[in-house]
Every structure is written in C-alpha cells, then in structure tokens.
Amino acid sequence: MATITLKINQRTSYGKALWELIKVGINEKKGVEEVKEKSPYNPEFVKQVLDAYKNDKRYELKDVEALWESL
C-alpha cells in the first residue's frame, strides 16, 4: 500500500470538491485514512501568537541580538 500526502486548499472550489470526495472515502472505509500530524510548535506559543494577531498587537524589533538575549 502506498502512502500519499495531499495538501488541499479548501478555500478554492476545486479543493472543497476534492476534500468532500475524500471525506466520503473516509466515512465509507474505502481505503482512505485521515492522519493528522502533530504540530511541531508548542501549543501555548501558538495561542500567544494568534491572540496577539487577533488583538492587533505589533512590536517593532530594532535589535535582533537583544531579542535572542531576552529568550
């Protein structure tokens, strides 16, 4: 059995149609399996970034070295 990884842009009409077709195969156990990969990023860090983005918090970085030292 071959394993194929597809990246589907569900924002396009073609991507939506393809995803619906694949979901039918998953639901009917027709040899299609959905595998969700675990994100390599710390979930708390991702939450902080998304919260900052939603609240439009932006920071200006003037010194890259100071950033690394602060971590």
Could you report the per-residue pLDDT of 7-55, keeping only the tens digit for each? 889 999 999 999 888 888 777 776 666 677 788 888 888 888 888 888 8
Instruction: Please tell me the predicted confidence (pLDDT) of residue 66.
Output: 76
User: Alpha-carbon torsion 27, 23, 38, 41, what sign?
Assistant: negative
For residue 55, the 8-state DSSP code is T
User: CA 34 to CA 7: how far, in whole Å?
Assistant: 12
Would you list the domain boundaries of the chain? 13-70
Instruction: Please tell me the predicted confidence (pLDDT) of residue 25.
Output: 76
Q: Residue 1 — pLDDT band, cuts 50, 70, 90? A: low
Please answer whether residues 20 and 28 qualify as being in contact, where contact means their C-beta atoms are separated by less than 8 angstroms: no
